């Protein structure tokens, strides 16, 4: 039985970096089957919607989905629900991916390129697990209206249910078991009821499903500080949607280039994960063949690890990227001169 990887290149530099993912995957996992689909502006142009039902169905049936990027200036005036970005949201919703994984690590060859001191980031390897479908981004009621005193007001609702917290917490525990075994759960239980509930539920989930995992808790503001002061103290950070959003962007900046950062979004066990580089469609450099393909290639690495059960191939790919960087392979964002394709070549040559 062949495993299927659905490639959704999308817009801007998406197709350029996903082409390198495919080249690498064809060599590394020759038995993997590929499918292709449109998402974002590319789908909008062809089908008048940013994600068709047929493409969503392909995604649901795949073992993993690898997306390039969506959006660009061409579609800036399109109605909100038809924007390229709506295609990505529909995909996340359609696959019910509720755990967003964003690693922050720095390849040894790039440590000196960071603006942070060597001893702060050398050997840095942390994973942020962010809940992706709940919290203040989706809670009801929300709105802008006038209150009883006649004042205009804007408001949202931060809410988490027991199953929402339990399922993402279990993902964090599973991930920690394959790492250093430590999870730091982050909230503001000192000032928020939803935060207090989060801490209680994570603690209960730990008692039931946390064997072998060392759980600690931290307030989100303290965590933001600690991430900059001493990020190596963390193994896995578990957070709700809002704090996870902020902390994962903060952690991303520890490691330097946006061209190096992958992400994964996971749903229930046995359902396809969605893998994508953290960067966007980068319209300013699209079509020039100079984008760094590493973030997309490292997203493949995550797909091999978390959806396709091919840990050895994942390890080999991670090592090859590190080796290519050690040998000096650099795209422009890393201060070098290699094209997207040449960077792909350098990684292939490092196997």
Which residues are known to be catalytic?
137, 188, 221, 245, 249
| Cα(214)–Cα(56) distance, integer angstroms | 38
Please identify the residue of the shown chain whose CB is closest to the bound Mg ion.
Answer: 280
Of 98-106, 151-159, 239-247, 284-292, the segment contacting ligand ATP by CB under 6 A is 284-292
SS3 (DSSP) at 105:
strand
Name the residue nearer to Mg ion (CB basis): 66 or 69: 69
Please identify the residue of the shown chain whose CB is closest to the bound ligand ATP.
Answer: 280
Rule CB under 6 A: say whether 279 interacts with ligand ATP. yes
Interface pattern 19-58 for ligand ATP (x via CB under 6 A): ----------------------------------------
Rule CB under 6 A: say whether 258 interacts with ligand ATP. yes
Report residue 138 CA to chain centroid gap.
19
| Cα(320)–Cα(32) distance, integer angstroms | 19
| Cα(22)–Cα(34) distance, integer angstroms | 8
Interface pattern 159-198 for ligand ATP (x via CB under 6 A): ----------------------------------------
Q: Which residues contact 204 (CB under 8 A, 6 or more apart)?
A: none
Min dist. Cβ of residue 11 to ligand ATP (A):
9
Partner from Mg ion, ligand ATP, none contacting 284, C-beta within 5 to 8 A by type: ligand ATP
* Residues forming a β-bridge with 216: 184
Q: What are phi and psi of 143, to 5 degrees?
A: 160, 180
Does 84 count as an annotated binding residue?
Answer: yes
| Cα(319)–Cα(119) distance, integer angstroms | 22
Min dist. Cβ of residue 10 to Mg ion (A):
14
DSSP string, 58-74: HHHHSSEEEEEE---GG
Name the residue nearer to Mg ion (CB basis): 41 or 280: 280
| Cα(209)–Cα(55) distance, integer angstroms | 35
Name the residue nearer to ligand ATP (CB basis): 6 or 285: 285
CB 227 within 8 A of CB 254: yes
* Residue among 15, 71, 103, 344 that touches ligand ATP (CB under 6 A): 71
Min dist. Cβ of residue 82 to ligand ATP (A):
16
Interface pattern 295-314 for ligand ATP (x via CB under 6 A): x-------------------
80 CB burial (10 A radius; 0-12, 13-18, 19+): exposed
Both tokens of residue 75? 């579609």
Rule CB under 6 A: say whether 223 interacts with ligand ATP. no
Does 174 count as an annotated binding residue?
Answer: no
* Residues forming a β-bridge with 153: 145
| Cα(300)–Cα(319) distance, integer angstroms | 13
Of 93-101, 113-121, 274-282, 303-311, the segment contacting Mg ion by CB under 5 A is 274-282
Residues of the shown chain interacting with Mg ion in the complex, contacts defined by CB under 5 A: 280
Residues of the shown chain interacting with ligand ATP in the complex, contacts defined by CB under 6 A: 13, 69, 71, 258-259, 279-282, 284-285, 291-292, 295, 333
């Amino acid at each position: 039985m062949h495993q299927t990887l659905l490639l959704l290149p999308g817009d801007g530099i998406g197709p350029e970096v996903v082409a390198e993912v495919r080249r690498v995957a064809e060599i590394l996992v020759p038995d993997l089957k590929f499918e292709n689909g449109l998402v974002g502006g590319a789908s909008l142009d062809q089908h008048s919607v940013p994600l068709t039902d047929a493409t969503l169905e392909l995604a649901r049936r795949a073992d993993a989905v690898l997306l390039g990027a969506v959006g660009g200036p061409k579609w800036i005036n399109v109605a909100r629900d038809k924007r390229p970005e709506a295609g990505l949201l529909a995909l996340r919703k359609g696959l019910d991916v509720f755990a967003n994984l964003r690693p922050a690590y720095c390849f040894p060859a790039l440590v000196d390129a960071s603006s942070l001191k060597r001893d702060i980031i050398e050997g840095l390897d942390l994973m942020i697990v962010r809940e992706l479908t709940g919290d203040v981004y989706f809670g009801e009621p929300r709105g802008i209206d006038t209150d009883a005193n006649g004042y205009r007001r804007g408001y949202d609702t931060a809410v988490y249910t027991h199953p929402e917290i339990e399922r993402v917490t279990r993902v964090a525990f599973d991930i920690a078991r394959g790492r250093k075994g430590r999870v730091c759960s982050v909230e503001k239980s000192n000032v928020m009821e939803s935060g207090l509930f989060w801490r209680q539920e994570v603690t209960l989930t730990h008692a039931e499903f946390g064997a072998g995992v060392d759980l600690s808790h931290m307030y989100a503001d303290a965590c933001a500080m600690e991430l900059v002061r001493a990020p190596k103290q963390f193994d896995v950070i578990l957070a709700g949607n809002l704090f996870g959003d902020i902390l994962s962007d903060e952690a991303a900046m520890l490691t330097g280039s946006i061209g190096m950062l992958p992400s994964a979004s996971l749903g229930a066990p046995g359902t396809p994960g969605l893998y994508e580089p953290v960067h966007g469609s980068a319209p300013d450099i699209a079509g020039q063949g100079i984008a760094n393909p590493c973030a997309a290639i490292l997203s493949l690495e995550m797909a091999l690890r978390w959806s396709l059960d091919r840990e050895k191939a994942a390890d080999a790919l991670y090592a090859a990227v590190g080796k290519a960087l050690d040998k000096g392979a650099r795209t422009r964002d890393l201060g070098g001169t290699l094209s997207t394709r040449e960077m792909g070549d350098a990684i292939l040559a490092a196997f």
